[in-house]
């Protein structure tokens, strides 16, 4: 099980094998980068945030108790780091939905149809991140924790320091917004 292997790698790192941390970075960077891109919407800022999230994880590795999966702990850390970045910079979405869909309509269509070209994967992730980043930040955070880690309402509420009802409301609004805005592309037979 990958989760069990993560715990063993964590043990090795804590025993002094710094290089073992590279295994965790390699294994989880895709998800962390996706979360950061979804939260911040800007690839450069997302890359910085993802790096900082991993460094924070390394520095506080002794605090990982193992009661949740390492990937969950890491994703929560990355999400909260991004929320701190957004608060510190009082950042607002860099583009409106309409502007984004107008500028990148064809790419959105390819994204939602699932371009099989592996070379398009990075571009797709970038575009998906920018779509998600147009949502209000608390909705974004709840949705990313739900969709990338499969956390329960209670776990998301704990991670974001809010009530379960707030989590449900945020998820509902986020999904409704995405479906409404992307309905045109979805009606064109997403596989």
Partner 1 sequence: MEEDLDPAAQERWSRLSKRLFAAPPADPAFTARIMARIEAEAPRGLLERLFDSLQPAPMFGLAAVAAALIIMLAGGAETVGAEDLLLADAGEGATAWLASPAAPEPDDLLAMALERR
Interface residues toward partner 1, by CB under 8 A: 18-19, 21-22, 25-26, 29-31, 33-34, 37-38, 47, 50-51, 54-55, 58, 111-112, 114, 118, 121-122, 124-126, 128, 131-132, 144, 146-148, 150, 152-153, 168, 172, 175, 178-179, 182, 186, 190-191
When the beta carbons of 90 and 143 are compared against partner 1, the nearer one is 143
When the beta carbons of 69 and 87 are compared against partner 1, the nearer one is 69
When the beta carbons of 87 and 176 are compared against partner 1, the nearer one is 176
Please give the C-alpha separations between residue 154 and each of 35, 55, 164, in angstroms, as whole numbers: 19, 27, 6
* Residue listed under structure tokens 């991993």: 54
- Taking the C-alpha atoms of residue 179 and residue 97, their distance in angstroms, rounded to an integer, is 12
Taking the complex as a whole, the smallest distance from the CB of residue 190 to partner 1 amounts, in Å, to 5
Tokens for 12? 């090795």
Q: Tell me, rounded to whole angstroms, the distance of Cα 153 from its chain centroid.
A: 16
Taking the complex as a whole, the smallest distance from the CB of residue 90 to partner 1 amounts, in Å, to 26
Quick one: three-class SS letters along 25-62?
A: HHHHHHHHHHHHHHHHCCHHHHHHHHHHHHHHHHHCHH
Taking the complex as a whole, the smallest distance from the CB of residue 153 to partner 1 amounts, in Å, to 7
């Amino acid at each position: 099980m990958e989760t069990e292997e993560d715990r063993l790698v964590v043990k090795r790192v804590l025993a002094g094998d710094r290089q073992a941390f590279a295994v965790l970075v390699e294994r989880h960077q895709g998800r962390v980068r996706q979360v950061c891109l979804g939260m911040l919407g800007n690839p450069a800022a997302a890359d910085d945030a993802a790096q900082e999230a991993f460094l924070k994880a390394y520095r506080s590795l002794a605090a990982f108790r193992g009661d949740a999966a390492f990937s969950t702990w890491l994703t929560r850390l990355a999400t909260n780091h991004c929320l701190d970045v957004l608060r510190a910079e009082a950042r607002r979405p860099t583009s409106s939905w309409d502007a984004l869909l107008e500028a990148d309509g064809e790419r959105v269509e390819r994204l939602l149809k699932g371009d099989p070209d592996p070379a398009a994967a990075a571009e797709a992730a970038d575009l998906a991140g920018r779509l998600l980043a147009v949502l209000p930040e608390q909705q974004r955070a709840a949705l990313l924790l739900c969709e990338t880690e499969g956390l329960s309402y209670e776990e998301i509420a704990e991670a974001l320091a809010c009530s379960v009802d707030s989590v449900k409301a945020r998820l509902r609004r986020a999904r409704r917004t995405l479906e409404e805005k992307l309905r045109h592309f979805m009606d064109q037979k997403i596989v």
